[in-house]
Amino acid sequence: MEKSKEVNVTIVTSGPQTADNDLDQLIAAGAKVKYLDVAKLLSTGVQHAKLWTVDNQHGYLGSANMDWRSLTQVKELGVFFKDCPRLATDLSKIIGAFGHVAEPGIMFPINWTSEFTAIYNRTNPMKLLLNGVPANVYISMSPPAFRPPGREDDLEAILHIIDSAQSFVYVAVMDFQAAVKSYSGKPDAYWPDLSNALIKASFERGVEVRILVSHWAHTSPKLRHFMKAIRTLHGVNGASLRIRFFVVPVETPEQRAIPFSRVNHNKYMVTDKTLYVGTSNWSGDYFKFAGGAGFVVECDEDHISSKSAKCLRKELEEVFLRDWNSVYTDEL
């Protein structure tokens, strides 16, 4: 709030505008707040991306909402980077695109100006040195209706990463359902894009697939059925398809009383070649109708400059295996 009095602070948040003490105080202090009402624009959906940029130098992309529970009561994962103007500028373009869509009177298809056009994508990634390791990097975005020219589609980025894996795909996500979920009382639509890609990778290429989903107070009863549908092909044609549920323990009455907390909320994937850190749960409605973004890194692990340098992909693999092998998981 103090910074809002000293520097330009712009926030793009879910609309429509409602009474919000924190945002109201920020506005009073000088912050500019834009309300992106995705459901009004696309008939359903929400602004779900969690992104920060500072001075076009530093940034964050990850699963954490800007809420005290996310920082104290929920298990989150994100990427923070500093002193990287190319990456920060590109992430600022995505935040700017969401802000542009939030402007009154926006019409579809959007007539994007050049300031929002992405230079970097899967076919033309940034060449960066991340923690001393050469890497190809780009940022993807959803939904398609909000995506400016040149920007990689979030779902297409994930599918390409799965299709490119040679030995393993590890996925950690709060919710994974082969459906476009309906919030209007209509039946859900079947949507097997991601589950089919994982099954195909393991069934046809022998890729080891591990999926770590969350179990908490608000887990849909459908989740276990969707996971069983994937797990049922384990061992067929040599496929390796394993699923575990991660449970964040509730240890005190005070913790139990906090709503929408005590959950593994992260959304990421790591393969033998690539890491992906995103903001969306893995169901079709997120990729079709929710504002989201993904951070994709492919490290050149054959050219690490020093023994102290460590590839981000390897770090994320170790995080996944730590959680997978922890006492907080139960295997399906």
Q: What is the distance, to the nearest Å, from the Cα of residue 318 to the centroid of all Cα atoms in its chain?
A: 19
Residues whose CB is less than 8 angstroms from the CB of residue 150 and which lie 6 or more positions away in sequence, other chains included: 117, 118, 119, 121
Please give the structure tokens belonging to residue 133.
């390791």
CB 242 within 8 A of CB 234: yes
Alpha-carbon distance 285 to 193, whole Å? Answer: 12
Annotated catalytic residues are 48, 50, 55, 265
Alpha-carbon distance 130 to 127, whole Å? Answer: 9
Please give the structure tokens belonging to residue 13.
């948040």
CA angle 285, 291, 293 (to 5 degrees): 105
Going by their DSSP bridges, the two strands 267-271 and 274-278 should be labelled as: antiparallel
Q: By C-alpha distance, which of 262, 243, 246 is closest to 323? A: 246
Alpha-carbon distance 271 to 316, whole Å? Answer: 9
Which domains are delineated in the chain? 119-331 (3.30.870.10)
CB 36 within 8 A of CB 47: yes
pLDDT score at 303: 74
pLDDT score at 302: 79
pLDDT tens for the chain, 332 residues long, are 677 678 999 999 998 888 778 899 999 999 999 999 999 999 999 999 999 999 999 999 999 999 999 999 999 999 999 999 999 999 999 999 999 999 999 999 999 999 999 999 999 999 999 988 999 999 999 999 999 999 999 999 999 999 999 999 999 999 999 999 998 888 999 999 999 999 999 999 999 999 999 999 999 999 999 999 999 999 999 999 999 999 999 999 999 999 999 999 999 999 999 999 999 999 999 999 999 999 999 998 877 777 767 899 999 999 999 999 999 999 99
In 159-232 the beta strands, taken as DSSP E runs, fall at: 168-173, 179-180, 189-190, 208-214
Q: What count of other Cβ atoms lies within 10 Å of the Cβ of residue 245? A: 20
